[in-house]
Structure formats: C-alpha cells, structure tokens
Amino acid sequence: MEDRYRAKAIEDKWQRIWEENRTFQVTENPGKPKYYVLEMFPYPSGRIHMGHVRVYAIGDVIARFRRMKGYNVLHPMGWDAFGLPAENAAIERGIHPAKWTTENIVYMRDQLKKMGISYDWDREIATCDPEYYRWEQLVFIRMLERGLAYRKRSTVNWCPSCQTVLANEQVEGGRCWRCESEVSKRDIDGWFFKITAYADELLDGCDRLTGWPERVIAMQKNWIGRSEGAEFDLPVVGYPDLKIRVFTTRPDTGFGMTYAVLAPEHPLVDQLVTEPSEQAEVERFRAEVLKQSEQERVAEDRPKHGLRLSARVINPFSGREIPLFIADYVLMIYGTGAIMAVPGEDQRDWDFAKTHELDIIETVNRPAEWSGEAFTGDGIKINSGFLNGLTVAGAKRRAIDWLVERGLGEARVNYRLRDWGISRQRYWGAPIPVIYCNACGMVPEREENLPVVLPHDVQISGKGGSPLTTHAAFVSAACPRCGGPARRETDTMDTFVESSWYFLRYCSPRFEGGIVERDAAVYWMPVDQYIGGIEHAVLHLLYARFYTKVLRDLGLVKVDEPFNALLSQGMVVKDGAKMSKSKGNVVSDDVIRDKYGADTGRLFELFAGPPEKDLEWSDQGVEGAYRFLTRLWRFTFQHREALIAARSDFSPNDLPGDLRNLYRLIHRTIKKVTEDIESRFHFNTAIAAIMELLNALSASVQDESKREIGTPVIKAGLETIITMLYPFVPHIASELWESLDHRGGLDAVTWPQYSEAALEEEQLLIVVQVNGKVRGKITVSADVDQTRIESEALQDQKVRSFLDGKKVQKVIHVPRRLVNIVVEG
C-alpha cells in the first residue's frame, strides 16, 4: 500500500478488474430478488460533464447498495441516439449524423466507465440501430391495425428552425423545447398516437404511483386535465335543422346563460352566416384573430374580441332567445368549440359581457361580504327555475338529468390532453413503416420486410424538408398489397417513441423474436427505481406510461406501469445557472478526475445536498470531499499493520465504557446509513454519518492506553466505514479493503448489519426543561425507573434555581428523552 492516495492508478486498476471479471453483468436468477435501477439514458450530444454525472452517481449508489443487499441488480445504459443535433452537426460540419452519433457514443461510454458507474455494458443499446427500431415499427403496425395510430390533417405546432412538427408537450410557452424558436401553426398531414384513449387510465394510474414525487404526479394530472360536465344542444332560431353543441362544466348555471359563443373557425359559422356583408365581416374578424393570436398569445390580460352574428339561439333552460357571437376566447380545439356563456359565474364571460353590454344573471346566491365580479364559489341556486334551492353540486346532477330526460344532452368528460403527434419531417429518426399506393391507398409495410432501414446515403443540406423525400431508392416502393408502384412515407417518428420502451429492451437487448422476451420482461419489469430530471415530468414519463399500456394491450408485456418509483434529481448549478455547454459554465469531468479522481467528484455531488434539490457547484466543496478521502487513506495506512494483526472478534461486554460507546456508534451508524440510502435517498446525511464515525475512530486512536484492547474495535469501525463507502466511492473503498488483507474485492461483500443489542444505551442523557425551556441535563442509567428520573430532575442544581419555591403543576416525562417541569408564573 502506498502512503499517498493516488486516485488515478486505483481507479484504472479497479475499472479493469470490473471489466475483466464482468462484475456487473447479470442474468435472470429466480433464486434472488431482482432490482431494476435505471437512469434516464442520455442523448449522445458529445461530452459528459459534471452536470451530467450527478444522475449516474445517484443511480450507481442505489445499484451497488442493492447488490450488497443481495439483490440481482439490473443496471443498464444506452443511448437515445436519434435526434436533431446530429442533423445540425451534419449541416454545420459536414459529418454524417450516424458517424457523429457513433463517435459521441464511443467517447461518452468511455467517460461513464471512467466515472466507475457499474453498468451491465453487455446490454447497451442505441436507438438508431435498425435492430432496435424495427420493433418500434412492428408495434406501429399493430397500433395502426387497432386504430391507435392514425393519420390526419390538422393544425400543428411548427418549429421553423427545426423544420419540423412538434407535439403539444414539446412546446413551452409558445417556443420549441429544444431550440427556443417561436412556434407557428401549420396545417399538415401527420401521424398520431391515440393517447387520449388512455386518458382515464393514465389519470387513475397516477394515484397508484406512490413511489413518484407528488409534483410530477400533479403535473401529469394537470396535463391530462380531466373535467366533468355536460354537453347539450342549443337550437338556432329560424334554422330548425341546425343545433349548436356546447360543453360546460357548470350545467347548474344554465339559467344564467345570456349568450352563446362559437370559436371563429367553427364549421357551423359558414351555415349560419349567409348574407354577403356579414360573411365579409366574419372573414375580416377571422383574419384579425389569426394575426393577433401570433402576437398577443402571451399577453397577460388579453382583451376578448368578439363579433355578434345575426343568428340567435335558444337557451333551453329558460326558453329565452339569446344572442350568438364568434369570439377569440373560445377555442376550436377544446370541447365542442362552442360555449354557453354565463357571465354571472364565469370571469371570462363576465369580462366579455361587460364590453358588449350583455345581460348578467346571478344563479348562485352570493355570500354577504362578496364584492367581486363573476362568482365561482359554492352556494344556493337562485333565478334558476327547477334548480332553485339546490347547492351547486346538487344542481349539476339535477340539470344533467333534466337534459337527458328531454333528449337535449348528456353528461360528458373532456380532457385537455390531445393525441400525440409523432410525425417529424426530419431525416435522423426511425422511418414510419407505411407505403402509399395509388391503387390501394395507405398500406402498412409487410412485417417480413421490417426493419424499414433509414438509408445512409443522403445529402443533408438543411435547406428545408427531409432529405428522405428526394431519396428515390427509399421513396419508391412496391405496394405490399398489390405489388404496384407506390411511395414510401418519408416522415420519421418522434424520438420520444424510442425512449418510450427502451427500458423494456434492456430486459433482453439482443432478442430477435420480438420487442422483448416475455420471461425476461416478467422477471425484470417494472423498473424499481427510475432516476431523471424533472424536465421530463410530462413529456417522456407520460409517453412511456402510455406506450407501456399499449404494449400490454397488444399482449407483449404484463405490467401496467413501467416505473414503480421515480426520483427527480435537481440540476447542477454553477454561477447561478444550470451547468450546460451553451451557458459556458461546465466543469469538465476529466479535469476533476485528473486533479482528484472520479471518487472525489462522485462524493462531492452526493454529499453536497439531497438528490432532489438543486446542487450548487463548489470547487471548495470538491476540495473538502477530496480531503475526507485523503484522511481516510492516511488513517488506514497508519494503522494498517496493527489492524491486519488484530483479532476480528471481541466481546463488547468486556470493553471499557468509551470503547463500548465507540462500538455502539458503529452500529448506530450502520442503522442510519442503511436507512438513509434505502428509504430516503439522503446520501448527504449517510455520508455525514460515516464522516462522524471516522472522526470518532481518529479520536479514539489518540488514546495510547487503550491501544491493546481498542484495536479490534477500530478494525471493526474502519472496515464498516470502507464497506459502507463502497456504493459512493467504489474505487478507493475497494483498494482500502484489499489493503486490509481482504481478497476478492468488495463487490460481493454483503452490506453490514447492525445488532439491536449493540444499539442499547447504558447511560441516558435526559434534558430537563422548566416551562418548556432547557434548564439542565442529567445523565441516568438506562434501567432507572421514571419516578427516580423525575426526582433527580427536580433536585438538579440548575433546575432548582428556576423552580425557586414555585408550585410544580405537572411534570411531563418523555421516556428516554426529556422531563418538562411545569410551574406557575
């Protein structure tokens, strides 16, 4: 053993050993409990930096800890390898996306190995591999057969910079999630996955995801946006064949409907407006709305614009004729694209009614002190005919019954969630396995022809459109049905499709008979602990849940939910901003490794705070982590020979008091560290406890007089420290373990166990309070009874000076902790 801690040599050595021994390769083993831990796989964008390392360090602690606990641990890694940056690199630097991606993978794989993350590299996958995406194409065809994948023309989000369509989930505040360009609207044909068919199941499932952070659940529920209400028809005056269908969550307010509104692009508008001058007015209004929606979309308090139509409708509740508008505050994409307006109980309708001088009828009795505008609270119904006297909830039910009885409408649930648009007009993605035949129309590719391989020989210019559209050999195809000339689909799939099932592929990554080998999936799924950034709270995590349910319904897997527990780790922040290449504040992993070693980098990130919080990078914090490892190294080096020579067994009862305290501390630390890792992921406090134990060992060895009898306790303490540090800093822990004459590394060593007997205290420190303020502390033997403790507390010198002859009203005794003496005054 060297006297100095040389991280690099140690890390190289153990990484080589792990590789040669295939230490982390696993197979299904029904004899052992399984544990599947997974970090969200990265996009191979170039280099990993210390901002990225955090999530892998967290995953590695969990993986290594679970192995020591006797689990058969699946901890795989792969690459989310399709995506735009590869194409951008091709445009900017003339490198083929495949080459760029592969080179990045090679580099990043090496970085992860150098950080000592314990992956089963035999299971590595890259989503751009045809042997990967072929299964996605097969699932696509199955989804097509069941109507879960469909093609339609629709108004979509278009990113002018990425030159492609974006899903709703990929637009953030009107901007592209990736490049932050302003997103515009476009009418385009494209492919959709029918995620709305699973809206209820995805929502209900949220409540069963008890291992997920609440805020992620809240975001998903929010995104799905279920609202219950009713849909019913408004007859149009003078048009006996026309009815306007409206959706409302407040059917109880029907009597307060004083006008109705259609979305400007509502198809009925053209039938209602026949007179040329009104038609012209409508056209002018629509153009205005279109223009304004571009600019004013983000405005705080958007004024509501509307145009009154000559047509009028009937309020079926009151039987009254009411005016009809088209207005920009009603959206075609939600509900029926038409609303009943109730200004008394809806603030938007109230605002609109005020500007257009429309009637306002209150249908809920206001509280006495109420002074607002529209009232949305609960109360007793008024001005509402047969609903009068009911509460809001009761009136809702009654109103729906009434609509149903008269055949006017029915109860109805609406969702904010919309189908997932998966078409991307880009090259570097998985081809959609569909062919357009002049005779047969749209036909899926034959299964035996899968995969539809993305052609390699393309020219990527970046000047609009996918290079696939001009790739003759790819586009021209024979119709799978009639054999006639046909054209291949040139859209590729959203890369979120690949990441919706990669966790399944890891179960049997080379399986050639399907997406996943059934037995492997049954054994490994679901993922026991998933770890990733909060930015995927709705995107990836919602898609993956949906896709898993689809695969279940296709009979391919048995689980309902892919991720049993989720840990959303915080960002790594430096100089007030998220550590990222574009912000120019990255700390390079090899600088940290060269100067301190991978273990130090890992330890710092795990110690600086709990994983779910943001972590502020601190060079001094890194120094501190390094100092701790150096101290541990030196301590081991100094006492090594004595410790190797020392006995491993000793009788705790024969130890003098202070060594028995140390022995107790060892067991207390095991308990704390185990619980902190296992149930809370509070690695920072686990590490702090280990540091305290080392501090105690250091203090103890100063006492020369106890050398003889103390060494076995020190040995037990140090070996416990080294073993428990292994998940955090595996290289130095392995090396120190070996230096203490242990063969075979730490990888197969079991996690230390604490003994309940060893935790028992002989002396208790009891806090004595007077009227809730700490006034003294007494030490008593643990077997002393309560009355004795209380009388000792009352007799304590300091305590007595506060009692000062006052009358003791009562004494509160919390066993083993404190005595609170309550006196008057």
Partner RNA sequence: GCCCGGAUGGUGGAAUUGGUAGACACACGGGACUUAAAAUCCCGAGGACCCGGAAGGGUCCGUGCCGGUUCGAGUCCGGCUCCGGGCACCA
> The tokens of 612 are what?
């779910």
Shortest reach from residue 183's CB to RNA, in Å = 12
Binding residue for RNA, selected from 92, 187, 214, 275, defined by CB under 7 A: 214
Residue placing its CB nearer to RNA in the complex, 648 or 679: 679
Number of residues that bind RNA (CB under 7 A): 90
Of residues 261 through 280, those in contact with RNA by CB under 7 A are 263
Q: Mention every residue, 6+ apart, whose C-beta is less than 8 A from residue 402.
A: 386
Task: Measure the N-to-C terminal CA separation of the chain; round to a whole number of Å.
Answer: 67
Of residues 80 through 139, those in contact with RNA by CB under 7 A are none
Of residues 467 through 526, those in contact with RNA by CB under 7 A are none
> The tokens of 6 are what?
């040389």
Q: Considering only CA atoms, which of 475, 486, 505 is closest in space to residue 436?
A: 486
Binding residue for RNA, selected from 459, 620, 648, 653, defined by CB under 7 A: 620
- The Cα diameter of the chain in Å comes to 108
- Piece of the chain touching RNA by CB under 7 A; list 9-17, 331-339, 387-395, 492-500: 331-339
Cα Rg of the chain (Å, integer): 34
Is 822 near RNA (CB under 7 A)? yes
Is 333 near RNA (CB under 7 A)? yes
Shortest reach from residue 805's CB to RNA, in Å = 16
Is 542 near RNA (CB under 7 A)? no
Of residues 382 through 421, those in contact with RNA by CB under 7 A are 414, 416
Interaxial angle between packed helices 683-701 and 619-645, expressed in degrees from 0 to 180 and rounded to the nearest 10: 50
Residue placing its CB nearer to RNA in the complex, 205 or 225: 225
Q: How many CB atoms are closer than 10 A to CB 803?
A: 15
Residue placing its CB nearer to RNA in the complex, 445 or 676: 676
Q: Rounded to whole angstroms, how far apart are CA atoms 454 and 474?
A: 8
- Piece of the chain touching RNA by CB under 7 A; list 130-138, 432-440, 649-657, 670-678: 670-678
- Annotate 151-172 with b (16+ C-beta within 10 A) or e (fewer): beebebbbbeebbbbbbbbbee
Binding mask 568-607 for RNA (x = CB under 7 A): ---------------------------------------x
Q: Rounded to whole angstroms, how far apart are CA atoms 256 and 346?
A: 10
Is 49 near RNA (CB under 7 A)? no
Is 675 near RNA (CB under 7 A)? yes
Is 316 near RNA (CB under 7 A)? no
- Secondary structure E strands in 693-772: 763-770
Binding residue for RNA, selected from 394, 455, 624, 652, defined by CB under 7 A: 624
Residue 579, burial from CB neighbour count under 10 angstroms (0-12, 13-18, 19+): buried
Q: Considering only CA atoms, which of 732, 672, 731, 662 is closest in space to residue 697?
A: 662
Binding residue for RNA, selected from 76, 83, 85, 335, defined by CB under 7 A: 335
Bridge-partner residues for 786, per DSSP?
none
Is 339 near RNA (CB under 7 A)? yes
Binding residue for RNA, selected from 21, 618, 638, 795, defined by CB under 7 A: 618
Is 609 near RNA (CB under 7 A)? yes
Residue placing its CB nearer to RNA in the complex, 139 or 340: 340
Are the C-beta atoms of residues 799 and 766 closer than 8 Å to each other?
Answer: no
Residue placing its CB nearer to RNA in the complex, 171 or 565: 171
Q: Mention every residue, 6+ apart, whose C-beta is less than 8 A from residue 729.
A: 599, 600, 602, 603, 629
Q: CA distances (Å), 714 to each of 503, 563, 641, 719, in order?
A: 44, 42, 12, 8
Q: Mention every residue, 6+ apart, whose C-beta is less than 8 A from residue 77.
A: 39, 41, 109, 112, 117, 119, 121, 123, 124
Is 47 near RNA (CB under 7 A)? no
| Residue 315 φ/ψ, nearest 5 degrees | -80, 110
Shortest reach from residue 333's CB to RNA, in Å = 6
- Piece of the chain touching RNA by CB under 7 A; list 218-226, 362-370, 399-407, 637-645: 218-226
Is 774 near RNA (CB under 7 A)? yes
Residue placing its CB nearer to RNA in the complex, 332 or 587: 332
Residue placing its CB nearer to RNA in the complex, 197 or 453: 197
Is 688 near RNA (CB under 7 A)? yes
Binding residue for RNA, selected from 121, 205, 308, 334, defined by CB under 7 A: 334
**Amino acid of residue 255:** F
Binding residue for RNA, selected from 60, 87, 252, 328, defined by CB under 7 A: 328
Is 627 near RNA (CB under 7 A)? yes
Is 608 near RNA (CB under 7 A)? yes
Is 638 near RNA (CB under 7 A)? no
